[in-house]
Structure 1
C-alpha cells in the first residue's frame, strides 16, 4: 500500500512541476496558450502573474518530493502539502476554471486518503 501511495504522491508532484513549466516558461508559447485557453495578448499581459503562480506550484511539488524523501517521517509533510494542493485546487475551481477541481483537487484528495490509510 505504501508503494502505491508514494507513486500517487510522486505523480501529483510531477504534475505540479509540469504546471510550473507551463506557467513560468511556456505561458506565451503554443502549449501554454492552449492549456490555459489564452490569446497571445492576454498571455503577454499576465506573464508575470503566471510566472508567480508557477513558482507556487513548484513549491507544492518540492514539498511533496520532500515528504517522499523523508520516508515514514514524511507522513505529516505529505499531508500538509497535499492539503495545500487540494485547497489551491478548490480555490482555483471557484475563481478560475472548474477544470482545476479535477486536475488538482481530486488527485490531492485521493493522495490524502491513501496517505491516511498507509
Structure 2
C-alpha cells in the first residue's frame, strides 16, 4: 500500500469529518446552510433532520477510512489485509455518494469533486499498489 493511498484516504476522511460538522453540528447557522443552497431559516428547519442524519453518515464513512488507515499502519499482515478491505469499502462508498450527488444535481460539481476525488485517488493508488 502506498503512502499516496493512505494520505488520500486520510484527506477524504478529514473532509467527511468536516461535512459531519457542517451538517450535524453547525447547520443552523446561515453561513453554513447557505453552502447547501438553503436560503432561509425556515428552509433550514425543514431539512434539519435530513442534514443531521446525513452528517452522521459522513462521520461513519470517515471513521471507516481512518480505521482502515490505522489498521494498515498497524503492521501485521492480518491487520494490513483488514485495513485494505475497510479502506476500499469506505472510499468506494464516498466515491459512490459523490456520483449520486452528481446524478442528482450537476450544479453541485464542486461538492462532488471535493467529496469524491480524494477517495478516488486512494482507490487508484490502492489498485496500483496491489
Instruction: Give TM-score, length-normalised by structure 2.
Output: 0.82
- Provide, for residues 84-116 of structure 1, a one-character-per-residue CA deviation record: whole Å limited to 9, x for no partner: 001111001212433332121222211110122
Query: What is residue 87 of structure 1 aligned with on the other side?
Result: 96
C-alpha RMSD of matched pairs (Å): 1.5
Give the structure 2 partner of residue 98 of structure 1.
109
Match of 2:56 in 1: 55
Determine helix, strand or coil for the equivalent of 1:27.
coil
Report the number of matched residues: 118
Task: Name 1:17's counterpart in structure 2.
Answer: 17
Structure showing greater radius of gyration is 2
Which one scores higher on RCO, CA 8 angstroms, separation ≥ 6? Answer: 2
Deviations 1:22-71 (A, max 9, x none): 00011121331232121222111110110000010011001001101111
What TM-score do the two structures reach when normalised by structure 1?
A: 0.90
For structure 1, the residue ranges without an aligned partner over 5 or more in a row are none
